[in-house]
A and B are shown apart, each in its own frame.
Chain A
């Protein structure tokens, strides 16, 4: 626990990571309490109120802070509800990618030999696929929907964890504490899980934060091409796609979900960089 509070302190002392942390907490709150916090139903259409500009521009209607889209849906409420899908995908997909990738990375780095050769070759093959195309393809195979998006991202992005964890495990395996554990006669599996994993964990945690940013982008891209969740659920990618169509008539349909997407990705990136600095024992000193 002392370690945890030390890490938290180290993160909060960095203004960029601390701001990112606050922004993400705000986003999580908005997403969880979206039905209570959003001023309107994100799906409510009203063609009499279509393509209204944001509140500070002439022609705006009161009650529609960021304007409406071509179907008269409130953009502010849709951005808030869009955070739900973005965050669910970010957390679930990154968790699964980290679990698969770290497990394979630990095995390859620790046991070496043919296990390492097979896993490394698998990573090579995986890296030869363009990731966006592969995710589109996987979702087409699995059928669109939230679960498919999460599974597709995990299946594609485990390599990021596997490569780093493999290298880190190899480095740890040569250190004194591992040699001592071996000398005492600890079983292999126990050394791997109880000795090496805790020392590799900081790297994994920092990577998870970066992966969350990537997952949010991939979900937005899949919604953008119409392969994510069904169109009656508000997503940033779906909003961006309709905004791209309306670019010459109502720019605000594209701008606000794009800003939400950008800030979220930026926050995950800065938090990941801050975590890496805070958790890295060498850099902390």
Chain B
């Protein structure tokens, strides 16, 4: 990708983000209920209300309000949460790292296990194992994260209680952390007890988010591998006496990984959206579980901040995946 390509892509991304801002701003202006009415005390006079209205800029036109808001956002000021009475940037900054650790753990799990299933399926072509793997994976493809999360609650929370049902870590093990990335920090400090506790708490949400990703990667990658396995260069390798394993991993995989990569990018953004409900089911203190509370409490500044955080994340992932697949696609690099 050349520099001008990158710039135009960045510009398009900013335009999309601006669109997200416009949509979210308009949407929240039509929310029934007056934010001022929720703030004032019963003894407030009409003059007080007018003053408060002017203080928050609510007496101006929608357009003026939008310009002021977007100006503040551009400077990194997302306002204060109404329900939690703290700056939105602080709240999102506290919760986002927990969600990021969760989704990246789920991404790693999904890619590794999906890749292993695809390779296993390709190696077991024309054996009874292949249709069995396909059947199980076909079943898994229909199960969304919401159902996985609840099935896991039953399985590993009740039937065979190995993992804790809620939270990010046990209150008793909490030590002082220098960063909000507790898992990574405990890994770097080699604090094994804390690390295992956090991993145990993350296990079920990671599985719930990662299993749908794993099954879709398994299917797409296996189809691409099967296609690659009948190409001439694989045939040549086979004539040279390469082992089946080496043909799959050394030859076919490199050519089959492209379509899977762009699919993984799209699915990864879906998975990040899934944190909203999965974090809620496991009371995991990330940005997703905060989002639903913000909506229920009609906390407009917080909702705006969270959605812009999600939007930025989605667009960033899209750009990274585009850049990666450009690099991997030989037709575009050699062309």
Interface status of B19 (Cβ within 8 A of chain A): yes
B144 contacts A217, C-beta separation under 8 Å: yes
When A and B form their complex, which 10 residue pairs have the shortest distance between CB atoms, in order from nearest? A130-B273, A125-B19, A269-B142, A128-B311, A132-B276, A266-B142, A133-B276, A140-B295, A128-B314, A130-B310
Query: In the complex the two chains form, is A213's CB within 8 Å of B153's CB?
Result: no
- CB neighbours of A270 from chain B (8 A): 142
Taking the closest CB of chain A, its distance from the CB of B287, in whole angstroms, is 10
B24-66 Cβ-contact flags toward A at 8 Å (1 or 0): 0001101110000000000000000000000000000000000
Contacts known (A130-B310, A140-B298, A254-B154); A225 close to B16, Cβ less than 8 A:
no
Of the candidates B19, B157, B272, the one whose C-beta lies within 8 Å of that of A247 is B157
Interface residues of A in 133-178 (CB under 8 A from B): 133, 136-138, 140-141, 143
Interface presence of A87 (CB below 8 A): no
Task: Report whether A129 and B20 are in contact in the complex, using a CB–CB cutoff of 8 Å.
Answer: yes
A243 closest partner in B (C-beta): B150
Flag if A129 contacts B311 (CB, 8 Å).
yes
Stretch at the interface among A6-14, A38-46, A58-66, A257-265: A257-265
B276: chain A residues at CB < 8 Å are 130, 132-133, 136
8 Å CB interface, B302-330 against A: 303, 306-307, 310-311, 314-315
Residues of A within 8 A of B23 (CB): 125, 129
User: Are A143 and B32 neighbours in the complex by a CB distance under 8 Å?
Assistant: yes
Query: Which residue of B144, B280, B303 is within 8 Å of A137 (Cβ)?
Result: B303
Q: How distant is the Cα of A10 from the Cα of B236 in the complex, in angstroms?
A: 40
B129 to chain A: closest CB distance in Å? 20
Please, could you name 13 A-B residue pairs with CB atoms under 8 Å apart, sorted by A?
A122-B19, A128-B310, A128-B315, A132-B273, A132-B277, A133-B276, A133-B310, A140-B295, A141-B27, A141-B30, A225-B277, A247-B157, A247-B165
| Complex alpha-carbon distance, A213 and B158, angstroms | 28
Question: Which A103-125 residues have a C-beta within 8 angstroms of B?
Answer: 121-122, 124-125
B261 located at the interface, meaning its Cβ lies under 8 Å from any Cβ of chain A in the complex: no
Contact B280 A225 (CB under 8 A): yes
Question: How far apart are B303's CB and chain A's nearest CB, in angstroms?
Answer: 7
Q: Are A129 and B310 in contact (CB under 8 A)?
A: yes
Give every chain B residue within 8 A of A266 (Cβ-Cβ).
139, 142-143
B274 CB-CB contact with A under 8 Å: yes
